[in-house]
Amino acid sequence: MAAPSYTKHLGEGDLGVETTIQESTGTGDADKIPATGADGKLDLTFLPDAIQPISHSGTFGGTVAAGKFIFADSADAYKIKAATNAGVATKAGGFVMAGGDADDPATYYSGGKVTGLTGITANAKYYLDADGGYTTTAPTTAGSIVQVVAIGIDSTSLEITIGDAVRL
C-alpha cells in the first residue's frame, strides 16, 4: 500500500502534494507528517530513545525458544541461555522475542512491552518458571527462586519488569 499523501501550502498561493512517512531517519525528517504502519501504530523510530524497548545483543549458547526469559551465562562467555527458577545463577535478565540455536546472534530485551501473546491476565504478576517461561503461580520448591519478570497489561501484552530473585 502506498503511503498516504496530503495537500500542503507551499506559500504564495501554491499548493503541493506531500507524502507521509512511516519511519524516521532523524533530523532530515523534521517537520514531516508521520503515518501509522499496517498495524495501526507509529514506528518506534518516531519515539524518543527513553521510550524505546531496552534491547541488547549477544550470542545464543544453546537452543532458546522464542518468548522465553534468558540469562547471560558468565561461565560460558556470557552466551544467552534460557533462564530457570532453579537457582540464582540462572535467574532472568531479559526476554527474547525470536529464539535461536547455539552461536546464532541473539537480541534480548530487559524492559518494554511484549505484545502478540495469549492468555495474559491484566495487572497479574508473572513469575519466572522452570523452563524460561512465565506463570502467575510463584514457585514454592525449596532451593528455587521467586522472581517477578512481568506484569500483565491486557489479554495479549506483558510489561517486562524483571525483579530481584529471592531464593526459597
In this structure, are 39 and 111 located in the same domain?
Answer: no
Q: Which of 13, 33, 49 is the last residue of a domain?
A: 49
Total-model pTM = 0.71
**Each residue of 13-24: pLDDT tens digit?**
888 888 888 888
Q: Structurally, how many domains does the chain consist of?
A: 2
Average pLDDT, the chain: 90
Average pLDDT over residues 145-167: 95
CA within 13 Å, CB half, 163: 16
CATH of the domain at 147: 2.40.300
Same domain, 61 and 144: yes
Same domain, 90 and 164: yes
- Residue 80 and residue 134 in one domain: yes
pLDDT in tens, 49-88: 666 667 789 999 999 999 999 999 999 999 999 999 998 9
**pLDDT band with cut points at 50, 70 and 90 for residue 145:** very high
159 and 117 Cβ atoms separated by less than 8 Å: no
pLDDT of residue 61: 96
19-23, 43-47, 158-162: which is most confident: 158-162
Range of the domain at 44: 5-49
- Ramachandran angles phi, psi of 150, nearest 5°: -165, 165
* 142 and 67 in a common domain: yes
Are both 141 and 102 inside the same structural domain? Answer: yes
Residues 80 and 102 in one domain: yes
Is residue 20 domain-shared with residue 73, that is, in the same domain? no
**Together in a domain, 58 and 113:** yes
